[in-house]
């Protein structure tokens, strides 16, 4: 039996980009590009249709999202792909969406930036037992947020869109880490970052917990394109460094080399201080105007929750070797990321002395970790001081 398919236009605001058939589970076929709209075709899919299909798959909420299976069941979706289609592939990161061929919808009618919505998928992933009247769910939920943590989009009373995030396990450290990183950026006088704030959340079983929230830096005039999507514009070979390929692609798109170097230098050095092990290619992005298609620059630093040894037990924390920390980024070993830094004086360690009392907000059972976290951070500060003075610290042997 052939699976039912339906024709949709991929839209960029009100620009029709292509016509394509989409099956019930979200699989694409019969993709027909619209002449004259080539520039609006998603950057990550411009090289070939295989990459376009990958771009499409990456819009769906990950199956690994905490609570995703329950949310899909309660909302009546067979997969995250079917959720994506049912919600018109709308996002609060960009202005792409899909319009059924037989409907006359406009961007003004569906835009999550303009219209009220309730992120029911996000609500359920936070609290499986929370009773939500699904009859009142909007069709135009955001179905494209990446990442594995519970997340939900909300609308502030002033109209701004903001995201609330939870944590893995019983600890609140990932949310606290986001706020700790915010305070570090403040102290360093760096302006191009996403501020995070602690907020109360309700989790499974109607229990009270601590999460974090941040306002959306995207709008109808500014959309975000991940580094992974930017990389799809280049020929990828296993031996190539993602750093050099990403830089090459960004410069082609109009980002000034000095701006690229300064941003990435700062991000690498502060990620090193914070032991952020999750600066993968979906946690770096560029910004673009969706109307003119002009690239604006690098997206602000965001998503630093998987840092400060959040996943280690107390015993593991006592045995950490800073020279062996592994990360999901341009290279596997965290310390070797510093080899990419051009301006070693961009981050002043003397302005990066931090108050660790914020971690007292975590559950009491984890308070014994705080002195160890502070000690490891101070070791990182001393290493960065040596690096700032010209020492290639990845060549040195040291333990903590």
Confidence class for position 308, pLDDT limits 50, 70, 90: very high
Instruction: Look up tokens 């502060």; give the residue.
Output: 270
Q: Which domain holds residue 96?
A: 5-110
Q: Which residues contact 28 (CB under 8 A, 6 or more apart)?
A: 20, 21, 22, 52, 53, 56
Give the end of a domain, one of 65, 85, 110: 110
The CA distance from 323 to 15, in Å, is 50
Dihedral Cα 146, 204, 369, 314, nearest 10 deg: -90
289-294: average pLDDT: 98
pLDDT above 80 for 68: no
Give the end of a domain, one of 76, 110, 144: 110
391-398: average pLDDT: 79
The number of distinct structural domains making up the chain is: 2
**In the 8-state DSSP scheme, what is residue 301?**
B
- The pLDDT score that the predictor gives to residue 123 is 53
116-128: average pLDDT: 60
pLDDT above 50 for 76: yes
pLDDT above 50 for 75: yes
Q: Which residues contact 88 (CB under 8 A, 6 or more apart)?
A: 97, 98, 99, 105, 110, 139, 140
Q: How far is CA 182 from CA 308, 343, 359, in A?
A: 14, 22, 14
Residue 382 lies in a domain: yes
pLDDT above 80 for 142: no
Residue 165 lies in a domain: no
- Is 247 in the same domain as 387? yes
Span 178-210, pLDDT tens digits: 999 999 999 999 999 999 999 988 766 677 889
370-379: average pLDDT: 98
- The pLDDT score that the predictor gives to residue 69 is 53
Q: Is the pTM of this model over 0.75?
A: yes
The CA distance from 144 to 380, in Å, is 36
Residue 189 lies in a domain: no
- Is 390 in the same domain as 250? yes
Q: Tell me the CB-side half-sphere exposure of residue 128, using CA atoms within 13 A.
A: 10
Encoding tokens for residue 168? 């893995």
Query: Residue 283 sits in a domain of what CATH number?
Result: 1.10.1070.20
Encoding tokens for residue 63? 């199956």
Residue 306 lies in a domain: yes
- The pLDDT score that the predictor gives to residue 192 is 98
By percentage, how much of the chain surpasses pLDDT 90? Answer: 72
Dihedral Cα 278, 155, 200, 187, nearest 10 deg: 50
Encoding tokens for residue 210? 């601590």
φ, ψ of residue 19 in degrees (nearest 5): -110, 135
The CA distance from 219 to 95, in Å, is 9
> 308: closest CA among 273, 357, 350?
273
DSSP string, 116-151: ----HHHHHHH-TT----GGG--S-------SSS-E
Residue 350 lies in a domain: yes
150-161: average pLDDT: 88
- The pLDDT score that the predictor gives to residue 400 is 40
Residue 204 lies in a domain: no
- The pLDDT score that the predictor gives to residue 122 is 53
Give the end of a domain, one of 85, 110, 135: 110
pLDDT above 90 for 228: yes
- The pLDDT score that the predictor gives to residue 113 is 95
- The pLDDT score that the predictor gives to residue 341 is 98
364-371: average pLDDT: 97
94-99: average pLDDT: 97
- Is 230 in the same domain as 102? no
The CA distance from 278 to 108, in Å, is 36
Residue 153 lies in a domain: no
- The pLDDT score that the predictor gives to residue 144 is 44
Residue 152 lies in a domain: no
**Strand (E) or helix (H) holding 155:** strand 151-155
Span 7-63, pLDDT tens digits: 999 999 999 999 999 998 889 999 999 999 999 999 999 999 999 999 999 888 755
pLDDT above 50 for 73: yes
pLDDT above 60 for 368: yes
């Amino acid at each position: 039996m052939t699976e039912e398919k339906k024709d949709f236009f991929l839209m960029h605001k009100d620009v029709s980009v292509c016509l394509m058939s989409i099956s019930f589970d979200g699989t694409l076929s019969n993709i027909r590009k619209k002449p004259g709209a080539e520039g609006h075709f998603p950057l990550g899919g411009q090289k070939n249709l295989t990459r376009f299909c990958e771009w499409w798959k990456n819009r769906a909420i990950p199956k690994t999202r905490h609570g995703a299976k329950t949310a899909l069941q309660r909302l009546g979706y067979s997969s995250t792909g079917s959720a994506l289609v049912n919600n018109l592939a709308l996002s609060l990161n960009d202005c792409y969406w899909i319009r059924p061929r037989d409907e006359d919808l406009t961007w003004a009618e569906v835009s999550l930036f303009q219209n009220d919505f309730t992120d029911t998928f996000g609500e359920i992933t936070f609290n499986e037992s929370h009773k939500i009247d699904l009859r009142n769910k909007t069709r135009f939920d955001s179905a494209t947020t990446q990442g594995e943590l519970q997340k939900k989009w909300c609308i502030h009373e002033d109209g701004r869109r903001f995201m609330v995030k939870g944590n893995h396990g019983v600890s609140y450290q990932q949310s606290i880490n986001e706020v700790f990183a915010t305070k570090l950026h403040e102290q360093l006088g760096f302006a191009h970052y996403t501020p995070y704030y602690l907020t109360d959340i309700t989790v499974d079983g109607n229990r009270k917990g601590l999460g974090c929230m941040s306002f959306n830096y995207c709008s109808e005039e500014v959309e975000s394109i991940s580094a992974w999507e930017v990389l799809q514009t280049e020929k990828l070979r296993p031996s190539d460094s993602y750093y050099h390929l990403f830089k090459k692609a960004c410069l082609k798109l109009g980002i000034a080399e000095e701006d690229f170097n300064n941003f990435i230098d700062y991000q690498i050095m502060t990620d090193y201080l914070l032991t952020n092990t999750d600066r993968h290619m979906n946690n770096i992005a560029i910004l673009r105007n969706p109307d003119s298609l002009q690239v604006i620059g690098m997206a602000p630093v965001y998503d630093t929750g998987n840092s400060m040894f959040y996943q280690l037990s107390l015993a593991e924390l006592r045995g950490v070797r800073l020279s062996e920390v592994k990360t999901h980024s341009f290279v596997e070993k965290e310390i070797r990321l510093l080899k990419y830094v051009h301006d070693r004086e961009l981050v002043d360690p003397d302005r990066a002395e931090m108050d660790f009392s914020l971690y007292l907000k975590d559950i009491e059972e984890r308070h014994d970790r705080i002195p160890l976290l502070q000690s490891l951070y101070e070791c990182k500060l001393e290493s960065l001081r040596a690096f700032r003075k010209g020492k290639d610290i990845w060549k040195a042997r040291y333990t903590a």
